[in-house]
Amino acid sequence: MTDQAMLEGKSTAASRTTLSHIMTHNDTNLLGTVHGGVIMKLVDDAAGAVAGRHSGGPAVTASMDEMVFLEPVRVGDLVHVKAQVNWTGRSSMEVGVRVLAERWNESTPATQVGSAYLVFAAVDADGKPRQVPPVVPETERDMRRYQEAQIRRTHRLARRRAIKELRERRAAEGMDA
């Protein structure tokens, strides 16, 4: 029996959250649209809240995969950042995030303006990894997200391993000292 099997699973809905924020002139870049870094901070904040809720304590950002900006965000947009846990390992979690925007003074539907996948590690008071409960996908969409997250994890690990091997090989050859 694995350590994770001893923890009771949590549904995707148990920690799902939405963070909403109205964009102001303080959030703009040199082009007059909202700076991508502002959106990335909101994404990290929402994902961190979800990871902390799911794991039942502190969780730190380990990586951000595939931050995609689909449309510019403007001053006066009400931005909604929707996040949920897609997959869990022993101490890590992938959180999927969708970013939507709507005009603050219009009743038109929000449109998707971005998305991202982040990996969080649950940590204890000493900053050491701690076990997280497994995520239990509830819908077909949740199951698809879970399966896609496993593919992204496999790719992350393979990329990390390939880079490490390349660096070791170059170091053994006396390169990149």
**Is a pLDDT exceeding 70 seen at residue 103?**
yes
24 neighbors 45 (Cβ within 8 angstroms): no
Phi and psi of 75, rounded to 5°?
-60, 135
For residue 7, count other CB atoms closer than 10 A to its CB.
Answer: 16
Give residue 7's pLDDT band: very low, low, confident or very high (50, 70, 90). Answer: confident
Among 3-12, 13-22, 52-61, 67-76, the minimum mean pLDDT is found in: 3-12
**Is a pLDDT exceeding 50 seen at residue 1?**
no
Whole-number average pLDDT of the chain: 94
Question: Most distant CA pair in the chain: distance in Å?
Answer: 63
**Is a pLDDT exceeding 70 seen at residue 5?**
no
Among 1-5, 68-72, 109-113, 129-133, the minimum mean pLDDT is found in: 1-5
For residue 133, count other CB atoms closer than 10 A to its CB.
Answer: 20
For residue 141, what are the CA distances in angstroms to 65, 105, 137, 145? 20, 32, 8, 6
Give residue 10's pLDDT band: very low, low, confident or very high (50, 70, 90). Answer: very high
